[in-house]
Amino acid sequence: MLSATEAYLALNLLPNVGPVRVRRLLERFGTPQAILAAPARDLRSAPGIGEEMASHIAGWERHIDLAEEQRRIAAHGISLLTLDDSAYPEALRHIHDPPFLLYLKGRLSSADAASVGVVGSRRTTHYGRDQAKRLSFQLAKAGFTIVSGLARGIDTAAHEAALAAGGRTLAVLGSGIGNLYPPENQALADRIAEQGAVISEFPVLYVPDKQSFPLRNRIVAGLSRGLLVVEAPAWSGALITANLALEQGRTVFAMPGPIDRPTSEGCHRLIQQGAKLVCSVEDIIDELGLELNSLPLDFAPEESPDASGIPGTLGDSPSPAPSRQVELSDLERRLLNELALGDATIDTLAEASSQPAGRVSATLLQLEMKRLVRQLPGKTFSKAG
């Protein structure tokens, strides 16, 4: 006899069943075990379940290898969370098509109820990346969990900033956890699992496709009380996430950018359509009605050029340098000493300092927040000033 979790897992492995069909089947049969045990003629009585789908579900044991998927789950240290579990995120439970099964590496927390989604373009400018880091860092310091999709660009900057702030972050994948995309973010995903959670609704080795990313986006929006779009051209997938957030009743925020840059066109369109314009972290916190914890006094955004080398002109007014002495850890001092000799990559600095690349990356971001280093193209860093 299958457990409820095993039955949900089997349903999730069946192609094209999906959360909406499973919800209708649950309304008809009551439990996932009853769905799998039902004959095809009874399955056809559920709304939206035709003859072909009914036969497919009734013969589920011929179509999937449940035991093999369970072995993969154990090998990757993954836990499963279903709609029946009390730990299932309440905000996600109430969207139109909540995933009935989540693969989870790491852990969820009750603190995640105060979450802000941060999304944007995969191809970022210095301006966009710096603003994503600034706002995500401050939101995490204020106690918010940062939710994003682990994609290149803005998503990566948001996750890294939350980790550097010592806060929680959730990464929602458009692939299976055992087939992570993009692959170069594997080390980042491992760090997120230690300080938050990596989440997917797809089988362990699922290969991402054009359909899986919009499905991922609805979870990013569903987990978030509000969604911030930092930098997005008119065709960006971040706008899909914003539309999903609006459909789910979430507040959408947008960061303005230089008015002559296509990289900010999507954000400006969102603001024209009623998204909340964001110039500072207080704009988000005031709107969501939560109190702001103390923010680091030594943080101020950099005046960073965009991809063309021209400083941004809208919403890009750097704060003055802090007047007090900035406190540095031993590793921060070592990295600054290395950068005083010339620009360097994370790998070079990791080798020179005999520290893991993940720790070096987090420390460099702390130094960015303190305006002591800046990131250059190709993940190369230089000493500021």
Residues 148 and 18 in one domain: no
| Structural domain contains residue 165 | yes
Q: Where are the alpha helices (DSSP H) in the chain?
A: 4-13, 18-29, 32-37, 40-43, 51-58, 60-63, 66-75, 90-93, 126-141, 154-164, 186-195, 212-223, 237-247, 265-272, 281-288, 330-339, 346-353, 357-369
Whichever domain contains 378, its CATH number is: 1.10.10.10
Nearest CA to 310 among 370, 264, 279?
Answer: 264
Q: Counting beta carbons within 10 angstroms of the beta carbon of residue 5, is it exposed (0 to 12), middle (13 to 18) or buried (19 or more)?
A: middle
**What is each CA distance from 331 to 224, 347, 366, in whole angstroms?**
34, 15, 11
Residues 129 and 56 in one domain: no
| Structural domain contains residue 98 | no
Return the pLDDT at 326. Answer: 67
Residues 43 and 122 in one domain: no
| Structural domain contains residue 257 | yes
| Structural domain contains residue 272 | yes
| Structural domain contains residue 315 | no
Residues 33 and 115 in one domain: no
| Structural domain contains residue 321 | no
Residues 143 and 284 in one domain: yes
Whichever domain contains 249, its CATH number is: 3.40.50.450
Q: Counting beta carbons within 10 angstroms of the beta carbon of residue 137, is it exposed (0 to 12), middle (13 to 18) or buried (19 or more)?
A: buried
Residues 130 and 262 in one domain: yes
Return the pLDDT at 79. Answer: 98
Strand-pair partners of 7: none
Q: How many domains does the chain have?
A: 3
Domain boundary among 288, 316, 343: 288
pLDDT tens per residue across all 385 residues of the chain: 899 999 999 999 999 899 999 999 999 999 999 999 999 999 998 888 989 999 999 999 999 999 999 999 999 999 999 999 999 999 999 999 999 999 999 999 999 999 999 999 998 888 999 999 999 999 999 999 999 999 999 999 999 999 999 999 999 999 999 999 999 999 999 999 999 999 999 999 999 998 999 999 999 999 999 999 999 998 888 999 999 999 999 999 999 998 888 989 999 999 999 999 999 999 999 998 764 444 443 333 333 333 333 233 233 333 333 334 568 888 888 888 888 877 888 888 888 888 888 788 878 877 877 778 888 766 788 888 6
Residues 273 and 128 in one domain: yes
- Coil, helix or strand for 184? helix
DSSP 66-128: HHHHHHHHHHTT-EEEETTSTTS-HHHHTSSS--SEEEEEE---GGGGSEEEEE--SS--HHH
Q: Counting beta carbons within 10 angstroms of the beta carbon of residue 329, is it exposed (0 to 12), middle (13 to 18) or buried (19 or more)?
A: exposed
Q: Classify strands 169-172 and 196-200 as parallel, antiparallel or unpaired.
A: parallel
Return the pLDDT at 293. Answer: 47
| Structural domain contains residue 202 | yes
Residues 123 and 224 in one domain: yes
Note if the pTM is more than 0.85. no
Residues 277 and 152 in one domain: yes
Q: What is the DSSP letter of 370?
A: T
* Inter-residue contact 231 to 255 (CB < 8 Å): yes
Residues 42 and 178 in one domain: no
Q: How far apart are CA 347 and CA 350, in angstroms?
A: 5
Return the pLDDT at 105. Answer: 98
Q: How far apart are CA 339 and CA 384, in angstroms?
A: 9
Return the pLDDT at 221. Answer: 96
Residues 201 and 275 in one domain: yes
Return the pLDDT at 314. Answer: 31
Q: How far apart are CA 270 and CA 239, in angstroms?
A: 8
Residues 5 and 114 in one domain: no
- Residue 47 structural domain: 1-64
Cβ-proximal residues to 75 (8 Å cutoff; 6+ apart), any chain: 178
Q: How far apart are CA 242 and CA 275, in angstroms?
A: 9
Whichever domain contains 27, its CATH number is: 1.10.150.20
| Structural domain contains residue 226 | yes
Q: What is the DSSP letter of 235?
A: T
